[in-house]
Amino acid sequence: MSLGQTMRHGIAWMFVGNTGGQVLTFLFGIVLARLLAPEVFGVLLTIQVFTGLAGFVAGGGMGQALVRAKDATKQDYDIVFTLQLGIGCLIYAGFFFAAPWFATWYDTPLYTDLLRVSALTFIFRPLVNLPASMLYRQMRYKVQTVVGITSLLVSSTTSILMAWLGYGVWSLIWGGIIGAAFSAALMIPLTRWRPGFSLDFRRGRDIARYGLLVSANDIVDYLRNQVSIFILSRTLGPASVGLFNKGSSLAMMPHSFITGSVYHVLFRSMAAEQDNLDKCRYLFFRSIALVAVYATPFYIGLLWLSEPFIRGIYGEKWVAAAGPLMILVFAWPFWLMNSLSGAVLAAQNWLDRELPVQIATLILTALSIVIALPYGIEGVAWAIAGVSIYSAFHLYWLATRCLRAKLAGFFKAVAPAAALNVLLALALFSADSTLPTSIKENDFAYMALMGVAGGATYILSFLYLPFTSLAAEQQRWKIKMRLC
């Protein structure tokens, strides 16, 4: 199988996995949102700000280093397992003793037990990380997809059952723990990997060096994404955290399941071809073009339908989340540019140049959120969208320098998507103008009719408008749909 076929096959399975995972998360999230109040999600998210940060320290970026390495032996995996297990035990001990102080700081005694229990995952996390890295390195995307979706089903079902029985936030904590344990139980036999110990750390110096850069970038990126939750939890309270996170997570959903699918395959493919800049340039700009075509219509739809969508799906108590959702739609082009530029820098080992950008972005995000706080969660959303512009263009500039590509390549790549989505926006505007008030007052009827009008316009435009750069993709879909 050629690199192009391998990449397309991998993206297809990653897309299935991400899409299936996002759809299931969305559906299970509706059920949990109906069973639990926004404050419950806010409590969990407050804890996850700290446990999530520690998670990057526990992994140390060493899993991604194994994926990128030209060769990885059993001893390399044993070294990484030994390091991650030791770090995980130290992190758990730290959280165990710090939990009472954490509860006092937030003036919520429940945080003591919640933090101690949720931190248990650090002890067995290496049993998940190492086989996952092995599957990723071997490009076994189908197996990754099956394991991911199955584990999500187990985790979400556990959370829903416990929430229905009245366990509140504990349902979310134990659902995550059981899902992670189930994932490890599946992956270890599938990879035929057996945990081993090795203290030959000199052999792992290159892995540790690259892993440290990955971990540093991931930590700063994570802090940038979580700083809003941290500041909101200390100022506007758990309810605002829950509402903002609902809008933010929905805004990220198309980006996660489409761009996320392409990112992992693009990184692995460019790592394999890291010395062939012509091939890497092609893969980079081709990925941008296709992701823009497939993901942007979801954001145009969210821009029009955010309030009826939130109200109809989650209920009136969540409707304030529609504001951040609508605002964060405008950040989508910059998320695309940021994410795929990051894949280039990771594959080409330019992470040391990415790190200062991530630090600057973190500082700007924190300052912008503090300034925007008087305007509530919508002001916070505008702050995040604004800072994403700087981050995206700076990382894209680094990526083009790394690949020796032209800066105008991005705009040329997204031109077909821009044209298609202008037509989509016009179609939605026309449909909205002609629908009677009785339809607009029914959230589900309104969304259905707008979806049909917009979907039909976009599909027909994609299939039949003469875009040279999309000709192969158009032909492939026409064959699949038996239109030629």
Assign 17 a pLDDT band (cuts: 50, 70, 90).
low
Q: How confident is the model at residue 159 (pLDDT cuts 50, 70, 90)?
A: confident
Q: Is residue 232 part of a domain?
A: yes
Residue range 410-439: mean pLDDT, rounded = 92
Spatial separation of the C-alpha atoms in residues 126 and 62, rounded to whole Å: 11
Instruction: For the chain, give the number of residues.
Output: 484
454 to each of 198, 300, 414, 430, 465, how far by Cα in Å?
57, 9, 20, 10, 16
Q: Find out whether 271 and 67 touch, Cβ atoms under 8 Å.
A: yes
Q: Is residue 29 part of a domain?
A: no
- Domain end marker among 141, 173, 203: 203
pLDDT the model gives residue 6: 56
User: Would you tell me how many other CB atoms lie within 10 Å of the CB of residue 483?
Assistant: 11
Least confident of 175-184, 230-239, 321-330: 230-239
**What φ, ψ does residue 138 adopt, rounded to 5°?**
-80, 0
Lowest-confidence range among 63-67, 191-195, 294-298? 63-67
- On the question of pLDDT at 2 being above 60, the answer is no
Beta carbons of 214 and 291 less than 8 angstroms apart = no
Q: Is residue 109 located within the same domain as residue 188?
A: yes
Angle, CA 333 vertex, CA 331 and CA 335 arms, to 5°: 65
* Average pLDDT score, the chain: 83
**Residues 300 and 273 occupy one common structural domain:** yes
Highest mean pLDDT among 219-233, 235-249, 417-431: 417-431
Predicted pLDDT at 151:
85
Average pLDDT over residues 308-323: 87
- Is there a domain that residue 30 lies in? no
Residue 8 predicted with pLDDT over 60: no
Judge whether residue 254 has pLDDT over 90: no
pLDDT band at 312 (very low <50, low <70, confident <90, very high): confident
186 and 251 inside one domain: no
Whose tokens are 């994926």? That residue is 67
Q: What is the pLDDT of residue 396?
A: 96
Q: Which two tokens stand for residue 423?
A: 């037509």
pLDDT of 3 over the 80 cut: no
**Last residue in a domain, options 175, 203, 231:** 203
Residue 418 lies in a domain: yes
pTM for this predicted structure: 0.69
Name, in order, each residue with C-beta under 8 angstroms of 227's C-beta and a sequence gap of 6 or more.
362, 365, 366, 369
**Which of 159, 184, 203 delimits the end of a domain?**
203
Alpha helices in 192-259 (DSSP H): 205-235, 238-254
Within-domain flag for 130: yes
Residues 329-340: what's their mean pLDDT?
94
Domain assignment of residue 245, given as a range: 212-484
- pLDDT band of residue 367 (cuts 50, 70, 90) is very high
283: its two tokens: 């893969």
Residue 99: pLDDT band by 50, 70, 90 thresholds?
Answer: confident
Tell me, yes or no, whether 343 lies in a domain: yes
pLDDT in tens, 49-87: 677 767 766 665 666 667 666 666 777 788 878 888 888
Check residue 18 and give its pLDDT.
62
Task: Let me know whether 449 and 400 are in one domain.
Answer: yes
Q: Nearest-CA neighbor of 432 among 457, 418, 453?
A: 453
DSSP states of 48-78: HHHHHHHHHHHHTTHHHHHHHSS---HHHHH
In a shared domain, residues 344 and 386: yes
- Residues 291 and 284: their CA atoms lie apart, in Å, by 11
Higher model confidence: residue 359 or residue 105? 359
CA distance 137 to 114: 35
Q: What is the pLDDT of residue 198?
A: 73
Asked if 281 and 428 sit in the same domain, the reply is yes
Q: Using CA atoms, how far apart are residues 76 and 239, in angstroms rounded to an integer?
A: 45
C-beta of residue 129 within 8 angstroms of C-beta of residue 84: yes
- The answer for residues whose C-beta is within 8 angstroms of residue 53's C-beta and 6 or more apart is 219, 222, 223, 226
Q: In terms of C-beta density within 10 A (0-12 exposed, 13-18 middle, 19 or more buried), how is residue 31 classed?
A: middle
- Same domain membership, residue 230 and residue 155: no
In eight-state DSSP terms, residue 257 is: I
Count of domains observed in the chain: 2
101 and 244 both lie in a single domain = no
Give residue 58's pLDDT. Answer: 63
